[in-house]
Amino acid sequence: MPGINRIKSEAADEKSQQSSSELWPKDGDEVFGLIVSDGNDDNDLRFDKFYTHSVQGKRDDGSNLWKNSLCPSKEEEVCKLCDKDVRPARKFGFWMYVNYILHKEKKNDSWEAVKKRASGEVQYKEDINDFRVFSHGFGSKDYLFNQVVDIFNEYGSLNKYVIRIKRTGSGMKDTSYAITSTTKIFELPKEMQTKVKELPGIREFFKKQWSPRVQTSEDNKDAKLLTQENDELGLGDIDEDPTESLF
Ligand SMILES: [Zn+2]
């Protein structure tokens, strides 16, 4: 019989693997990489639209914690949160092979200083060379999603060239993103060709990402109650404040 500790540690491993696959650009970051899907194939779920609920909860110490969950209502299932009039947010997401991220500030010794040719601005380059999920709301009047549509209309495919995702601003109301195409061509390294086929669909990825955490015996009674309630609603824990990505 599998031991509780093994299950717990496996669950924690899965969770940390998943979280590290999500892309969270900070103010001034520029992400460069190749979208995995070409945008033509309706059955390629590695680029997808989905609905989420974000509900505020409390940690054991009383601090706030946001809980995210996939809203199943759009997949013709009953959604307990929609039934309670909690409005879902519409988002899109895709897998990309991220080459590197340019940062405004140096926060790691391994990041190499690079200079922008035109402006002379110095940025710090973090090499990634791995797959990451980018997701976001469609934006006000769908501005952000329409930038992706523009790339598709211009080139007939989303993955002809390396794209650039730039985040400007850090607050909930003054943050905007720009997704544009470069003219750089990049072919996936051979060792990534198998891995790319094994990437889960975007909904599947978030379903796992937000699955309710494993209950531990050290948790206090309040936390247990909260977790039970969240289990019923299918909510998991997240540490990042999702409000900034709602708009
Ligand atoms: Zn719902």
**CA separation for the pair 128, 134 (Å, rounded):** 14
Q: What is the 68 CA–ligand 1 centroid distance (Å)?
A: 11
Q: What is the 88 CA–ligand 1 centroid distance (Å)?
A: 5
β-pairing, 176-181 with 163-168? antiparallel
Q: How is residue 211 written in tokens?
A: 């699955």
Asked whether residue 17 carries a pLDDT value surpassing 80, the answer given is: no
Q: Where are the beta strands (DSSP E) in 59-118?
A: 64-70, 89-103, 112-115
pLDDT band of residue 34 (cuts 50, 70, 90) is very high
Query: pTM for the full model?
Result: 0.78
Cβ neighbours of 69 (radius 10 Å) = 26
Asked whether residue 87 carries a pLDDT value surpassing 50, the answer given is: yes
Q: What is the 54 CA–ligand 1 centroid distance (Å)?
A: 10
Q: What is the 63 CA–ligand 1 centroid distance (Å)?
A: 25
pLDDT band of residue 211 (cuts 50, 70, 90) is confident
The predicted model gives 114-143 an average pLDDT of: 96
Q: What is the 102 CA–ligand 1 centroid distance (Å)?
A: 36
Q: Do residues 47 and 202 lie in contact, with contact meaning Cβ atoms separated by under 8 Å?
A: yes
DSSP state of 226: H
| Closest to 123 measured CA to CA, from 107, 99, 143 | 107
- pLDDT for 227: 44
Give the C-alpha distances (Å, rounded to integers) separating 33 from 42, 49, 81, 144, 166.
Answer: 22, 20, 36, 17, 12
| Closest to 233 measured CA to CA, from 92, 18, 82 | 82
Q: What is the pLDDT of residues 124-137, one digit of tens each?
A: 999 999 999 999 99
Q: What is the 160 CA–ligand 1 centroid distance (Å)?
A: 35
CATH class of 4-245: alpha beta
The predicted model gives 210-222 an average pLDDT of: 49
- pLDDT for 8: 65
Asked whether residue 11 carries a pLDDT value surpassing 80, the answer given is: no
Q: What is the 52 CA–ligand 1 centroid distance (Å)?
A: 7
Q: Do residues 175 and 167 lie in contact, with contact meaning Cβ atoms separated by under 8 Å?
A: yes
- pLDDT for 245: 40
Sorted by where each begins, the domain ranges of the chain are: 4-245
Q: How is residue 245 written in tokens?
A: 């990505």
